[in-house]
Structure 1
Amino acid sequence: MSFNIGLSGLYAANKQLDVTGNNIANVATTGFKSSRAEFQDVYSASKLGTGSKAVGSGVRLANVAQQFTQGDINNTGNVLDMGINGSGFFVLNDSGSLSYTRAGTFKVDKEGYVTNTDGSARLQGYGVDANGKIRNGVLTDLRIDTSNLAPKTTTTVSSTINLNSTAGVIDQSIAANRFDPTKQATFTEQFSTPIFDSQGNQHVMDQYMVKTGPNTWDTYTLIDGRNPDGTDPTVVTTPAIPEIPAVPGTPGTPAIPGTPAVMANPAIPSTMTFDSSGKLVSVSTPVSPPTTPPTATLGNDLKITDWKPGTVTDGVWKANGAAANPAGLTIAMGITTQYNADTARSIPAQDGYATGQITSLSIDGSGVLLANFSNYQTKAIGQISLASFTNEQGLQPIGGSSWKESYASGMPGFDSPQSGSLGMIESNALEESNVNLTNELVDLIKGQSNYQANAKTISTQSTIMQTIIQMA
């Protein structure tokens, strides 16, 4: 029996050395999880039990347990290198067969799909709809779409504006003071904002602020120096006639008053009204096209519904074939104030943009793949999915720092990173092996000592047997 006990010890020590050696061999393997040999003692039993004086029958390998502790995450500078800080596994699909890994060394194949290092399996995640919204629920092969981002027409413009309450009033009943965008004396302040049409062409929207009373301001809005409908607000149909002064020393010859110039397409203003505290009360915008009698809409926004995008060549305006937003262009004025401070405006925000080419890729902590474009826009093109298991120890290793589900592991659950107990994604980084080399070298010494000790047991038993044989 002692031979069998010693042999079981040799076998166990050999397995311990195998496990330790495998850990040491994979100390630099990305996403590798160390293992631990677990042993149990063995007793021979009969129908009556083993009894209190039973001698053990040796040892057996009970399990090789994987240790899913967190490995160090080190930066690499490659955006498709990803480490999971926390629990969870990347999901890979190889022709319909799912596997799970912590090794985030991914690349893009010729078709744009994100794959593992050898290109044999595709990374799984969630796709997006036409608006860039993540479609959770159904796993799909993640693909990096490198097509151009289509242009978007401007629908809203917003900014914070303060109009100086001490600015001088411009009396527009005087002909010389009537608004003319070419004469700075006819307006108090001018603000410019870039906007875009449906083809991504950039236009300049100018807002001219004219203080017309203690708490009222007129706002004239021109696009590319013209009325939104493309007409020129500076075209004169009837020139101004200057006043003819009275002839000195000639009684009965009074001065003859002049007449202002008549504009063919005068700019039509919106009127802002403020209360005594300097807060905006309302914005009155004339209905376009004009009605008889004139009517206006009240609110906190300016609304342009008659913009016709075009270009001006040699002074001639021509439609460029693009369109404006069908619902109109809304200019948010609700946070405009009239305080005793310099007239100023914050950097305007508008939601239109020209077409853009993808320039770079980034991945946030929740696993969303973000495409960055040359027009300074960012669009989600997918989201990584992570898998979790009730019993990670039950996963079946298949090599390549990957595992398959098993009966012992239970069914996987899929969700986005940072959901529930799932960890976060760290892009430009990889999770290193969790092997502690110092501990493994100590275990190697222990395994060697165990092997030698069990070999000594067999040697001693052999010596005893030889003694018995010699006595015969």
Structure 2
Amino acid sequence: MGYGIGLSGLKSASEAIDVTSNNISNAQTIGYKSGEYVFSDQFFKAQDPQSLDRAGMGSYRMSIRRTGGYGTVVNSQNPLDMAITGPGMFMLAKQVDGTVPTENPTKFQFTRNGQFAVDNQNRIVNENGMYLVGYPADASGTIISSAKSVLVLDREPLAQTPTRNSTLELNLDDRVDPKTGNVFSPTDPTTYSQATSQTVYDDKGFAHTLSVFYKKVSSQLLTISADAVGTAAGTNFTFSPTQTIDPSISTVDSYNRPPGEQFNKIASTAVALGAGTASTESIYEATLTPISGAANTVGTVYNLRLRDGTNLTLTQTVAGTGSVKAQYTVNVDRFEVFATMDGNPVTANASNAPSISPVITTTDGTSAGLGSRETASVLFKDLSAGQSLTMAGLTFTAGASGATSAQVAAAFQNIHNGDSFSTINTANSPAGGTFTSGLASGWTTLTTTAPGGSTLVFSSTTATGNVTNLTSVLNPVTGGTSAASVLIEGSPVAEQQALGVVGFVAGKNIDSLSKDSFGNPQFATRFQIDASRGTGSGYGQTLNGGAVQLTIEANGSTAYSSAGQTYTNTQDGSATAQLASYNVDSSGRLVAQYDNGQSVVKGQLILAYFNNLEGLIPNGNNTYEASSASGDPLLSFPGDGTLGAIRSKAVEQSNVDLTEELVRLMVLQRQYSAVSQATKVMAATLIDDAINIGR
């Protein structure tokens, strides 16, 4: 038996030397895990198993254990090289159909070697041609974790995206003087207070320059109401940001707006967020403190402190009673907003029909019997509900159903110089609306309109030549292709249509005052831009005829008494973009970078985790297969749970410690020599015994 003991020792020592030699040979193999030879002793089972004096029968290999220690992560120049900084193994497929692995789940192979490249179809493979398996992503970059796919470097360009949403938030310097009285012109800096620009993209992917101008106009008083009746005290208040400007204010014309301004509203840009179309904003949990005067008395000045710390100065205008809510006013600074696209004016809806302003054709000295007096042929247009038209000093306002062009023409028939609006209402009883103000001045109309017609002739009452042309003023102005009429020193002047007007109190956007219990604004400040009419229109014109339709949000804009500055200038459009590069982030997402700065997730690699790494079957080529001993792989993405993160442009070196392996090799060499001597002694003894038996 002693001879067999020596042979088993020689065999196990030889195998251990093989394992150590293999470790040394793979000291530079990326992702290699060193093997450890596990010796085991043997006992002769035929002897008494209870005997403590049994002699062993030598040694044998119990197993070759793979150590799970991690190698050093070093940088690489290949952007597709990856290292796992923790537990996990890359998942590889030997066969695919397009990008779908066709392997039996038990036949996938696994590795820690992260050296990858691409094949002739841009699929990511290792150096042996095996495919890296991951989760695919849809067109929006959302990972589809219910399917497996080979990761592919998609070279297709990123399609153009038209701008749909823009954010322009800035501080408008409130120290500037109002520009009321100056007709806005984008080429004249004296007609606006501040400007900014943004590059936007049309549906064809072409870039356009959107310029936005802010014209400070007159400050106005916003009415705020207490939430409860009978008292000035309280914590909740309401207001409407689109309330009409108080017509009793001095310098306000007959359209309830200051001269030189298009809008008769405090603000016109508020949009209710969430469900509903409410136009009333609410202020919650505010503190109202009298500054001067008695509480709940008209004229008393208060400080209203909002829960975010903003302080508003209010003046009481209505005392609260048992049935009346107290009311206050606060001064609102206002800015009209204009825009141009590539230098051409744009408005909120360029696809509207042309302006409903009447078409006026004047002629000097052709009226029979009137000498050199002027006549004007007027083609009226329909009016929308509540819309007003002023001509010859009289203002006609359409009713709740609007007024047809024929009804408007009929209303202006048989008017004589000096007629008041109330006299005409009594005499004519116009259909479609009523005359609401004014005194006929300088013109007389004749009944020249055919029944149901829309044309009327005005005759001048001034018996001189060069009579001033008849003018018309609409309020509000609608239609996307017409300038608006504003009054400058009492005369109507054409001005580019504004997108809207935004108001500020204490420097804060009034649309940001109404907030929920989480501090989120309940209203948004939005402007609409429409440049879809192409090159054939004065409004909405783009250089190449592409359509641009977008919404600008300006919720975070302010109007502090400080230098103008831009807070946010972003938009969601882009031109066609070419692929610039790929990278893999720490969670294993394959991200495509494009030359316009955008990035899109194209997939996410899968990492596998085994409960028993020693149970994996080594295949060579730095790969392993699962076995019943290792158990099925647990699959997820890098960084999930106990799985390690990915470090790109890096690889994990072998975990072989050369010094340790060389020392172990010397020890095994001495062991082998010693066992050889023992075996030699046993062999010599057997020979001597055989010789002695033969004597």
Quickly name the TM-score band, shorter chain normalised: 0.7 to 0.9
Pairs within 5 Å for 1:300-339? 300-304=524-528, 306-308=530-532, 310=534, 317=541, 320=544, 322-325=546-549, 329-339=550-560
Within the candidate set 145, 160, 169, 1:151 is matched to 160
- The separation in 1 between residues aligned to 2:152 and 2:133, in whole angstroms, is 9
In the TM superposition, what whole-angstrom CA distance separates every residue of 1:393-438 from its partner, at most 9, and x where no partner exists?
A: 1000001110000010000111100001111111111111111100
**Deviation of 1:373 (Å):** 0.7
- The separation in 2 between residues aligned to 1:336 and 1:106, in whole angstroms, is 49
1:406 is aligned to 2:633: no
Cα separation, partners in 2 of 1:312 and 1:74, compared to 1, 3 Å = farther
Quote the residue 1:280 is aligned against: 509
- The separation in 1 between residues aligned to 2:511 and 2:45, in whole angstroms, is 95
Quote the residue 1:291 is aligned against: none
Within the candidate set 337, 344, 360, 1:219 is matched to 337
Quote the residue 2:77 is aligned against: 77
In the TM superposition, what whole-angstrom CA distance separates every residue of 1:312-369 from its partner, at most 9, and x where no partner exists?
A: 99999568454445xxx22121111111110121351111111100011111100111
In the TM superposition, what whole-angstrom CA distance separates every residue of 1:18-37 from its partner, at most 9, and x where no partner exists?
A: 00000001111111110000
Within the candidate set 106, 121, 139, 2:116 is matched to 106
Quote the residue 1:266 is aligned against: 496
Pairs within 5 Å for 1:133-148? 133-148=142-157
Unaligned runs of 5+ in 2: 96-102, 220-332, 361-467, 469-487, 513-521
Conserved 8 A contact 1:196-1:354: yes
Pairs within 5 Å for 1:392-431? 392-431=613-652
1:128 is aligned to 2:358: no
Give the letter aligned to residue 675 of structure 2: N
- The separation in 2 between residues aligned to 1:45 and 1:282, in whole angstroms, is 91
Conserved 8 A contact 1:312-1:318: no
Q: Give 3-state SS (helix, strand or coil) of 1:440's partner.
A: helix
**Deviation of 1:230 (Å):** 6.0
**Deviation of 1:471 (Å):** 4.7
- The separation in 2 between residues aligned to 1:190 and 1:166, in whole angstroms, is 15
1:169 is aligned to 2:178: yes
Cα separation, partners in 2 of 1:162 and 1:356, compared to 1, 3 Å = same
Q: Give 3-state SS (helix, strand or coil) of 1:454's partner.
A: helix
**Deviation of 1:202 (Å):** 0.8
Unaligned runs of 5+ in 1: 239-255, 284-297
Quote the residue 2:369 is aligned against: none
Within the candidate set 206, 211, 217, 2:211 is matched to 206
- The separation in 2 between residues aligned to 1:341 and 1:56, in whole angstroms, is 94
Q: Give 3-state SS (helix, strand or coil) of 1:57's partner.
A: strand
- The separation in 2 between residues aligned to 1:32 and 1:51, in whole angstroms, is 44
**Deviation of 1:39 (Å):** 1.2
**Deviation of 1:463 (Å):** 3.1
Give the letter aligned to residue 411 of structure 1: D
Q: Give 3-state SS (helix, strand or coil) of 1:459's partner.
A: helix
Pairs within 5 Å for 1:181-260? 181-214=186-219, 215-225=333-343, 226-228=345-347
Instruction: Provide TM-score, normalisation by structure 2.
Output: 0.58
Give the letter aligned to residue 170 of structure 2: I
Q: Which has more radius of gyration?
A: 2
Instruction: Provide TM-score, normalisation by structure 1.
Output: 0.85
Conserved 8 A contact 1:43-1:50: no
Quote the residue 2:605 is aligned against: 384
In the TM superposition, what whole-angstrom CA distance separates every residue of 1:270-294 from its partner, at most 9, and x where no partner exists?
A: 111111x2111039xxxxxxxxxxx
Cα separation, partners in 2 of 1:462 and 1:316, compared to 1, 3 Å = closer
Moved more, 414-423 or 127-136: 127-136
RMSD after superposition: 2.7
Pairs within 5 Å for 1:39-58? 39-46=39-46, 48-58=48-58
- The separation in 1 between residues aligned to 2:502 and 2:537, in whole angstroms, is 34
